[in-house]
Amino acid sequence: MNRIPPPLPLGSDGYPAAGGVARRPAGDEESVRANRRWWDAAAPAYLAEHGADLGDADFLWCPEGLREADAHLLGEVAGRRVLEIGCGSAPCARWLRAAGADVLAMDLSAGMLDRAARLNRSTGIDVPLLQADAGRLPLAGGVLDVVCSAFGGLPFVADVEGALREVARVLRPGGRFVASVNHPMRWPFPDSPDPEDLRVVSSYFDRTPYVETDGAGRTVYVEHHRTVGDWVRAVVAAGLVLADLIEPEWTPGRTQDWGQWSPARGALVPGTLILSCTTPA
């Protein structure tokens, strides 16, 4: 019999409290299991902190403030079949639905999807919700026009090449895939918004995952680092065509800090990398 793990203890900020931090290998199953629990527990605190910025039906690509309404990275979405990977509370999916897309919102976390369902009801924009792993998309091949992911899951996936192959599989010929991820340049620096902390504390080339554990030593959070070259090679190996690499600059007038991201730091170094891809026609 599989025992249900106990709820993760929360810190004073409402997020899961890490009992320990390590840099060590972490495979796909461990990453999926840990990150599902972490986001289930963190959903209330995360949305309390960032929900106003994310909106209920808005498409924010990144902490720098780039929005799909201005960027048009997905092209015309009306009438298109769209999958959002790592939808969280699904504001992007609701924005897409309001723009006329036939959209499915997917996330690993039941806690996040519960919040998405509540917002579906309160907004009156009812998007279908699916709990699934990005590495195992429960969809037939070639059924989608667009797949998108706004910081939605890819940094937490151990086998990102496999996940991108899944994206390529479910897209039709000439389909589009756009995803924003942590910029690899964030990895060597401290997790601080202060530009005075821009000092290299680890190697950009060290791909060893960042792992948090609870008081009993169980893995509760895993994040995977890849260099820019790693992302490009993963995209190409999946059979996708890389159309553009976008490094958004900080939106003028935006004052919102978001973890390590801030206006002062965003003026100096990139914080987000956006992969814009297509499938061969």
Residue 29 domain-assigned (yes or no): no
Is pLDDT at 2 greater than 70 in this prediction?
Answer: no
Is pLDDT at 253 greater than 70 in this prediction?
Answer: yes
CB 82 within 8 A of CB 146: yes
Q: What mean pLDDT is reported for the chain?
A: 96
Contacts by residues 136-143 (CB-CB < 8 Å, ≥ 24 positions apart): 136/166, 137/83, 137/106, 137/166, 137/167, 137/169, 137/170, 139/83, 139/170, 140/170, 141/169, 141/170, 142/169, 142/170, 142/171, 142/172, 142/173, 143/81, 143/170, 143/172
DSSP state of 261: B
**Structural domain tally of the chain?**
1
Residue 11 domain-assigned (yes or no): no
Residue 250 domain-assigned (yes or no): yes
CB 16 within 8 A of CB 43: no
Please give the C-alpha separations between residue 168 and each of 91, 98, 125, 226, 273, in angstroms, as whole numbers: 24, 26, 28, 20, 19
Domain that holds residue 72: 55-209+225-278
Residue 130 domain-assigned (yes or no): yes
Q: What is the pLDDT of residues 77-127, one digit of tens each?
A: 999 999 999 999 999 999 999 999 999 999 999 999 999 999 999 999 999
Residue 39 domain-assigned (yes or no): no
Q: What is the pLDDT of residues 172-224, one digit of tens each?
A: 999 999 999 999 999 999 999 999 999 999 999 999 999 999 888 889 999 99
CATH of the domain at 203: 3.40.50.150
Taking the model in full, what pTM does it have? 0.96
Residue 9 domain-assigned (yes or no): no
Residue 28 domain-assigned (yes or no): no
Residue 118 domain-assigned (yes or no): yes
Residues, the chain: 281
